[in-house]
Amino acid sequence: MTFIEQLKTLDPRDVGRWPLAVRGFFVLLIFLVCTALAWYLFVWDDDRPILQKAEADELDLRAQFANKQQRAANLDAYKAQLGEMERSFGAMLRQLPGKTEVPNLLVDISQTGLAAGLQEKLFQPAGEQSKGFYAELPIKIRLVGNYHEFGAFVSGIAALPRIVTLHDISITPVADAKTGGYDNLTMDVTAKTYRYIEDEGGGRAGAKKKPGGAT
């Protein structure tokens, strides 16, 4: 008789008459089930949050690795882009006048209007306004002329070797007292030039070092 056939002939109400091998099998089976249940309740259930956190950390580390790997693959492109940005920034800085060049630039702006045939009614530089690493110098200008002369003035400003921008442009007609017509126009505009001021900190620091070096 096979083991399966023996199980079929067993009387569940009379366990004491079961064969020893069958009773040992069921005792072992119950022991294993109880052991598995105890392991689940006291080991697996307690360690599961730790495992879940470890799995989440693994996913985060994998994402960081993929991101860094992508950056490493594009490192040469980033370096080339950074170099191009530095060259562009350097070129822009070279277009900002130094402190000693500002008076000459103001003369150039005024001469640009006169060269365009405009009459200069107002040329009023305001105080410098610090913007961090550069200073902004606004200049209020009032010019009288016609549209073509205004166009020549704007083109001349754009052609200057230093950065000069035009803001708050207002054009109004000027009545001619003799003819009663409006042959001329008045343009009020604020021209702004910019000065790089970071080098002044170095200049002041150098000036402080000289007396110390002398002593």
What CATH code is carried by the domain that includes residue 159?
Answer: 3.30.70.60
Q: pLDDT per residue over 82-104, tens digit each?
A: 777 767 666 666 666 666 667 88
DSSP state of 159: T
Q: How many residues does the chain have?
A: 215
Confidence (pTM): 0.48
Q: What is the pLDDT of residue 208?
A: 42
> Which residues in 61-83 are b (16+ Cβ under 10 Å) and which e?
eeeeeeeeeeeeeeeeeeeeeee
Report residue 51 as tokens: 């495992």
Does 31 score more than 90 pLDDT?
Answer: no
Regarding beta strands 164-174 and 129-130, do their DSSP bridges make them parallel or antiparallel, or are they unpaired?
unpaired
Kindly state whether residues 67 and 105 are assigned to the same domain.
no
Residue 88 lies in a domain: no
Q: 């294993």: which residue's tokens?
A: 32
Structural domains in the chain (count): 2
Strand partners, 134: 196
Q: What is the pLDDT of residue 33?
A: 87
Kindly state whether residues 109 and 193 are assigned to the same domain.
yes
Q: pLDDT per residue over 172-215, tens digit each?
A: 988 665 544 556 889 999 998 887 776 554 343 333 444 444 43
Q: What is the pLDDT of residue 178?
A: 54
Residue 20 lies in a domain: yes
Q: Which domain holds residue 27?
A: 1-73
Residue 91 lies in a domain: no
Residue 83 lies in a domain: no
Burial of 29 (0-12, 13-18, 19+ CB in 10 A): exposed
Kindly state whether residues 68 and 115 are assigned to the same domain.
no
Residue 92 lies in a domain: no
